[in-house]
Structure 1
Amino acid sequence: MLELLGFADFQVDMSPEPEDGPIGWPGYGEAVRAAVARSGASESVRVGTARIGGVDAVVIAFEFKFLGGSLGRRTGDRIEYAFHRARELGVPVVSLVATGGSRMQQGMRALTQLQRVAREIALTRAAGIPQISVLLDPTTGGGWATLGAGADVVLAAPGAQVGFGGSRVRPADAPAEAYTAEAKLAWGQVDQIVAPSELPEALGRWLRLLSSPGAAAEPPAALGSADLPSSGWDAVQAARSASRPRAGAYLDAYFGWRAEIRGDRAGGVDEGVLCGFGWRGRAIAYAAQCGTATTPAGFRTAARLIRLADRLGIPVLTLIDTPGAANDAAAERDGAGPAIASLFEAVALAKVPITSLVIGEGGSGGALAFAAPGSTWITPDAYFSVTSPEAAAAILKLDPAQAPAIASQLRLRPQDLVELGVARAVVPRRP
């Protein structure tokens, strides 16, 4: 793998250790010598540089044959040095992780290396430097909880064992499938599963996307009808039409290629929210609603995307299309309010420019949370409203049959929103 990436080792001074390690574990020195002979490595990680997809990067590569890729004191030395060099050089960090966790024969001296690693991750994040992890088989314990899960983008090998609990310490009745890369993908903790043969290309694309700051994104052209609605109810019906173009079509037309991030890193995935980075002569981040009620996981994933793009200096495009935020019991349990608040905050604090386009239904606060104040456009077949006409009738205790008339009273048509100053303009249809 490292040879495919053009890897060149750093020369890191290795401080001497007592024969049986820092806590005098019987036979530790002999185990280390056997590990060196078996793996050909002098420690459980190698650190160095590589040029991947035209982008220079610092690489941290675990050697599982060396004591199960365990983290010991000298492992921490090497990882710390690698992150320090990445900040000096201003280049991304790629971690190829294969570890069983902390090195038992070093006791707490081994476990405290996780604090060192976590600090280096945080310092590098604060410096605005991208971090990508690749989860190999296995990635468990502290290696998963620091270098693995702590990266900006997390890739994983198919079928890799991934989990905080290793196979020998987890509950006996725990289902093995819960500790796989595929499960972590389904639960929004991994962004993409990549076959080993495809890894160099995938890393190159991600490094290019995450290392390309730029200016504000221009709003996409409209893909649907070019005709403005004559009434509010016409606007609502046009936005709800099954034939209207959805977010996927807009993203495909706007970008030459793109790569998605997945999930909120807290166990949730909203399939109705697409987030990632696309290439349009430069990198642009995107968060796009797909016409469904947005769940708490969707809001948290969008907030994660915006914060990451902001840290890396990459402009953001948001596409708004939702009847509103999910408001069922499950959404309340999963923190709908805090999740929406988190996205409002991410948008409000972002230093990078955010461009928003309403492409369908703009339903209430669930839509507004995706909108950039002062930088929102709208397509001719969309609307934006304080709530749906039907909900407005219910709230005001009016006959549901009054919904069409209420739609006009709400002034939710594209031209109304421009006149009200909510939208900057109605975007023209794509030639």
Structure 2
Amino acid sequence: MDFTLSERETYFRDRVKAFIDAEVTPRQDEYHRQHHEGDPWKVIPVVEEVKERARAAGLWNFFMPPHSGQHHVDDTFEFEGTQLTNLEYALCAEEMGKIGWASEVFNCSAPDTGNMEVLHRYGTREQKERWLRPLMNGEIRSVFLMTEPAVASSDATNIETRIVRDGDHYVINGRKWWSSGVGDPRCKVGILMGKTNFEASRHQQQSQVLVPMDTPGIKIERMLSVYGYNHAPHGHGEVSFTDVRVPVENVILGEGRGFEIAQGRLGPGRIHHCMRTIGAAEVGLEKMAKRLLSRVAFGKRISDHSVWEQRVAQARIEIEMTRLLCLKAAQTMDVAGNKAASQEIAMIKVFAPNMALRILDDAVQAHGGAGVAEDFGLAHAWASQRTLRLADGPDEVHARAIARNEFGKYGDWKVDRPSNDRGPEVSSGDIGVSR
């Protein structure tokens, strides 16, 4: 097994890293100053400036999937981006994950990435011209409207938002929340998932429609905080839809195809999060190590206390394990397709955020009181990573899929007990073990 990176993989990773080192990292203070000045829900000038430089350098839209040669009849090659594989993009995304605003610089930030993939894969020519082109140009932002406050949205079939046909329009009524990106003043379009047919089979009730965010009847009820942070100017909102009318041609792929689209969208989105998470964990470990080497307690550097040696060693081990699993998932997606990689995607989606949270928590501990303040950015990083145990499906849903796949390998297995050994009575909570 050869773990050597190809020339192309190294080329793009190194270009992204070099650009971040030269253009993003030195402007961190400028970014934070602009971010905290005045209204938080605004376009931040330094981001727009660096975006133009990245685009001019050809470092743009890395996430768009390579074409398979199978194009929609009205599709063209003009909506294709840089054409990186998932594996190539994984290496770039890890670098982007080290600084919170770096992804947007390359036009590679969620939820726009997933929404652009949906439009690229399933959209009509007209839908692409109206929405995909300005998204790929970085001129507008978007929102994905799926999760609802009234139901357990980890099971997408619970979604209750109604999409009712009325002549040449759909009428939408419902309420969404954790609508990421809706606070951005450039958010011009949403992809909304709701039900067009409550009587159809369980996975054919849902549809997805494009909703211009200036349509009458749409109201941002409130912006939600994440452990006290508002995540401006991106933000996560609770949004109500009251008799919102959109043309029938705004449906994506067709009625009853919403669940299918969601599955296609969330696979790549899940692994993109994990790639960036590895970068965040690397930063956490770096800050922890530097802090431990620079402080003295009880007569010696904190780094020389054995408990911290153990924590730092464990952090490095877990980062390396996570990276390998993430790259395996990416390569499996490239070679065999997203569906074939579902087990690897589920495993990395569970493990990566939990890994990063452990390392960031240790980094906070290493910094003492400074860790829970915002002086070193660790508290905000921890809060952001904690949301990923819920985003794109909670841990429990992915663990369920992993376990069911594992049980499926032994579907015909039966408890085998010798006839002369009755053994103890087995309760419903016990698991029989073969002897």
Asked if TM exceeds 0.5, the reply is no
Point out which structure has higher relative CO (alpha carbons under 8 A, 6+ apart): 2
Question: TM class, shorter-chain normalised?
Answer: under 0.3
Q: Which structure shows the bigger proportion of residues in helix conformation?
A: 2
User: Taking structure 1 as the reference length, what is the TM-score of the superposition?
Assistant: 0.28
> Which structure has greater strand proportion?
1
Q: TM-score, normalised by structure 2?
A: 0.27
